[in-house]
Amino acid sequence: MIQIQHIAPLFTAEAALPDGAIGEINLGDYRGQYVVLFFYPLDFTFVCPTEIYAFADRIDDFQQRNCAVLGVSVDSVYAHLAWLRVGRNEGGIAGTPYPLIADLDKQIARDYGVLLDKPAVALRALFLIDRSGIVRSAMVNDLTLGRNLDEVIRLLDALQSSEQSGNVCPANWRRGEPMLEASLEGVRAYAREHAAFP
């Protein structure tokens, strides 16, 4: 598994692009912006399209935060393109506004430590990468468990707010709420403000 606070493994791979073309994605090209890199098991499956829709429906939230969304599965770029031609009401992912990366040789999933042996697919993993290419959050779910996009965006907000303020993110923090000064007095002030203790 990838270690937090380490550089995300770089890769260059083919991807199905939002305009229906095939293009090359180089993770290094995204330096200077945040990246949500998410792995899903397979095209033409069941939980996967619901997650792909969820990211698509929230793409403006990510773009407003200077964050690229990149999807990856062990399918070929041609399988991605075929699925992109199928409408949502038919179980497809037409209109997906971000690249879907082909990891046919499974090297990207292997490098990120999320490749299962049997079946040889990626777990439902997500990595939040900062503007310097450093992994700041990693979430891995089993194949049957879909992700919560509100939590992904909350973590992105927390990372950006922490970078801006120099403070840390308390439990259940939401964008616009005060962060926590990383000191004993900061904890005391936060506890008093939030009535954490009688």
**The dihedral sign for the CA sequence 175, 3, 115, 145:** negative
Contact 10, 37 (CB under 8 A): no
SS (H, E, C) the chain: CCCCCCECCCCEEEEECCCCCEEEEEHHHHCCCEEEEEECCCCCCCHHHHHHHHHHHCHHHHHHCCEEEEEEECCCHHHHHHHHCCCHHHCCCCCCCCCEEECCCCHHHHHCCCECCCCCCECEEEEEECCCCEEEEEEEECCCCCCCHHHHHHHHHHHHHHHHHCCECCCCCCCCCCCECCCHHHHHHHHHHCCCCC
Residues with catalytic function = 48
In a domain, 56, yes or no: yes
Asked if pLDDT for residue 198 goes beyond 70, the answer is: no
Task: Tell me which of 2 and 107 has the higher pLDDT.
Answer: 107
**Side chain identity, residue 78:** Y
Contact 138, 1 (CB under 8 A): yes
**Domain ranges, residue 22:** 12-146
Asked if pLDDT for residue 185 goes beyond 90, the answer is: no
In a domain, 29, yes or no: yes
In a domain, 1, yes or no: no
In a domain, 41, yes or no: yes
Pairing state between β 124-129 and 22-26 = unpaired
Q: What is the pTM assigned to this prediction?
A: 0.93
In a domain, 108, yes or no: yes
Contact 75, 43 (CB under 8 A): yes
Q: CATH number of the domain that 59 lies in?
A: 3.40.30.10
Instruction: Tell me the pLDDT of the chain averaged across its residues.
Output: 94
What pLDDT band is residue 189 in, cutting at 50, 70 and 90?
Answer: confident
> For 135-183, what is each residue's pLDDT tens digit?
999 999 999 999 999 999 999 999 999 999 999 988 888 998 888 888 8
- Number of structural domains (the chain) is 1
CA distance linking residue 101 with residue 147, whole number of Å: 19
Give φ, ψ of 124 to 5 degrees.
-80, 80
In a domain, 163, yes or no: no
In a domain, 16, yes or no: yes
Indicate the burial class of 195 (C-beta count within 10 angstroms; 0-12, 13-18, 19 or more): exposed
> For 93-109, what is each residue's pLDDT tens digit?
999 999 999 999 999 99
CA distance linking residue 3 with residue 137, whole number of Å: 9
Task: Tell me which of 175 and 198 has the higher pLDDT.
Answer: 175
In a domain, 59, yes or no: yes
Residues forming a β-bridge with 67: 34
Mean pLDDT of 28-54: 96
